[in-house]
Every structure is written in C-alpha cells, then in structure tokens.
Amino acid sequence: MFDVRARDYPGPASAPPPPARDGRDAGGDFLDRLAQAEVRDSIRVPSGAEQRLRDAFARADANGSGCLSVARLRGLLIQSGGSANEAKRLVDAYDTGGRGGLDLESFLHAWQTEGLGPPSGA
C-alpha cells in the first residue's frame, strides 16, 4: 500500500498562489485598484444641460461669493419659467451650508431634483 498524504501533493502546476495574509493578492493590492477606479469615475465632463446651469450660476453670482441669495434665485426661476415664490423654499430645502443661499453644488442638485428648466440665456 502507498502512504500518500495531502501535504505531500503540491497540487496542479497552474493553480494561483493563495492570497497573502496581509490582504494583498497576486494581482496587486485590491484597495489600490479600488482607489484608482474611484478617481477615474470621479473625473467626468458635465453634460450640456449641467454646463448651462453652471454658466447660469456663474452669471447670477455677480459678486463672486459662490452663493446665490433668495433674490438672485428668484431671477433665475423667472428666467426658467418657474415661480419666483419657489426661491425661499429651494433655499430652505437645499441650503446644506446654512448660508441663506445656494452654493453651486446645492444649486445643481436643487435644479435637477426639482426638474426646473435651464434659465433663459443659459
């Protein structure tokens, strides 16, 4: 009889090496690849509609504060065919910074979420 034990059998020659105990695998570090994918996915070109909204925000932010007040939002709402009365509600709903107005990201989020059209001239 033969006495063959599992420890004596190396396994198939094409078997991949087992992952190291530090979390790295033979193909590279998973977290490095994940970080690279996140960076790649975060670099994007704004759509045409988003770019028009960015341009409208820049024109309305005449003083360069980076924040549109309720009064400036009223003007944009009128240009887009909306009601000027919605400006205060938008600020209350989307002003995440507590500045009493909307910064660019809050403005884009509000405009897209509310389904508002682009302001004229945008």
60-116 residue pLDDT tens: 998 999 999 999 999 999 988 888 899 999 999 999 888 899 999 999 999 888 888
CATH topology of domain 52-114: Recoverin; domain 1 (1.10.238)
Structure tokens at 28: 């590279």
Q: Enumerate the domain spans of the chain.
A: 52-114
Structure tokens at 21: 């105990």
pTM above 0.75, yes or no: no
